[in-house]
Amino acid sequence: MKIPPLNLEPLPITLRREIPESYRDEMGHMNVMWYTHLFSEAFGGFADLFGFGEAYFRENHTGSFALETHVRYLSEVHIGRHITVRSRAVGRSAKRIHFMHFMTIDETGALAATQEHVGAHIDMRTRRMSPMPESITERFDRLVAEQNQVGGDPPVCGVMRP
């Protein structure tokens, strides 16, 4: 499925990296496992935007578990290239967040991959989903509203819901 042209510039940068030789696979480009790794690292920068980071988790005995992920690989990422990941809040329920990451290749501007993700707010004492506090949901909702103003709907796969 082709993704329509997107204006990613207004979205926050949540990760920047140079792709090292150790990420190379047999095809001569970045192995798919590293996309997951890089998107996972970008989640930290994204979560900090609405207070859902390590400090919050530690102080409140909470965490976040992945529930569903959809990745689209769109352009090869070669070793030595520089990538930027930008992130967009899509929506939420009381216990889940829905968001996307967009990986671009700095040298070409090409959209290399997208990751759509649904994650859960977890009470780590019970290891079960729990409602997010208002302090988190208010900031997340504000982020959704701000990012919806940049124009265009996020290119979601259509089957994932928070």
Domain boundaries, the chain: 13-148
C-alpha closest to that of 116 among 160, 53, 150, 60: 160
In angstroms, what is the C-alpha Rg of the chain? 16
CATH class of 13-148: alpha beta
- Token reading at 95: 């216990």
Report the half-sphere exposure of 42 (CA within 13 A, side-chain side). 30
Q: CA of 103: how far to CAs of 11, 34, 54, 154, 158, in Å?
A: 12, 12, 23, 14, 20
- Collapsing DSSP states into helix, strand and coil, what is residue 35? helix
97: β partners: 92, 119
The pLDDT value recorded for residue 150 is 80
| Chain segment 62-107, per-residue pLDDT in tens | 999 999 999 999 999 999 999 999 999 999 999 999 999 999 999 9
- Residue 1 pLDDT > 80: no
| Chain segment 107-162, per-residue pLDDT in tens | 999 999 999 999 999 999 999 999 999 999 999 999 999 999 886 788 898 887 77
Decide: 13 and 82 in contact? Cβ < 8 Å: no
The pLDDT value recorded for residue 111 is 96
Going by pLDDT thresholds of 50, 70 and 90, the confidence category of residue 3 is confident
